[in-house]
Amino acid sequence: MRDFIRPAAPTEMIPEMRDLMGWDTELFSRAGAPAYPNLIDEKHVVAELYNMTNVPMAVWIDEAGRIVRPAEAAGASDSFRSMDRATFKMTPEGATRSKASRTAYVNALRDWVAKGDQSAYALAPAEAASRIAGPSPTDALSSANFRLAQYLHERGHTAEAMPHFLEARRLCPERWHYLRQTLEIEELGKGSGPEFFAAIDALGERSFYHPVDLKASPK
């Protein structure tokens, strides 16, 4: 088992990255090394099955295999858009908002772990189903292009793969993991460079991370 898949200790973060990720001192002090393998979904199989379009995203699944909360931003918010892109340093206001969003989500998750279906954050089956959107024909075509591109790239045909990567991005620009992965294929580190932030700026007033509604209807 490679160390980066099952690390022996929690990953250290400089203060700037903690602010960016939304981890305050209290939350980060509870970090522990995972006692299970961390799998890398290179083929985006999980992303497609659960309609994950960005990172970080989470799906709550109970012991019976029922989806309690469909894919949603796992405590991430658009506060990172206020950071200095050269230093990755957040404004004090942005850091505070980021930490508040992360803390609220982690506390909701803890509540569900402790209370199960009685948690105020556990959605009733009908409400959970109403929040799940199945793949559209455009989603399927985008996925097919992305899979073909991956197949070609893995076999050394990157030039032939790139038009399909670009078509996948064109068809579903809201699937940000397509953009990030293709930028990294073009050049290591490009996925967090000017091209990535230019795409974010192009959103204007639209959200990068869709706000999470943690409230659930009475059961």
DSSP assignment of 142-201: HHHHHHHHHHHHHTT-HHHHHHHHHHHHHH-TT-HHHHHHHHHHHSTTGGGSHHHHHHHH
Tokens of 183: 């930028």
Q: What is the pLDDT of residue 38?
A: 74
Q: Which residues pair with 61 in a beta bridge?
A: 67
* SS3 (DSSP) at 61: strand
Ordered per-residue pLDDT tens for the chain, 219 residues:
455 556 667 677 788 888 888 888 887 877 777 777 777 888 888 988 999 999 999 999 999 999 999 999 999 999 999 899 888 899 999 999 999 999 999 999 999 999 999 999 999 999 999 999 888 999 999 999 999 999 999 999 999 999 999 999 999 999 998 999 889 988 888 988 899 999 999 999 999 999 898 876 555
Query: Using CA atoms, how far apart are residues 128 and 45, in angstroms rounded to an integer?
Result: 21
Predicted TM-score (pTM) of this structure: 0.85
Query: Using CA atoms, how far apart are residues 191 and 29, in angstroms rounded to an integer?
Result: 29
Write out the H or E segment, with its range, that includes residue 109: helix 92-115
Q: What is the pLDDT of residue 204?
A: 95
Q: What is the pLDDT of residue 1?
A: 46
Q: What is the pLDDT of residue 134?
A: 81
- Amino acid making up residue 13: M
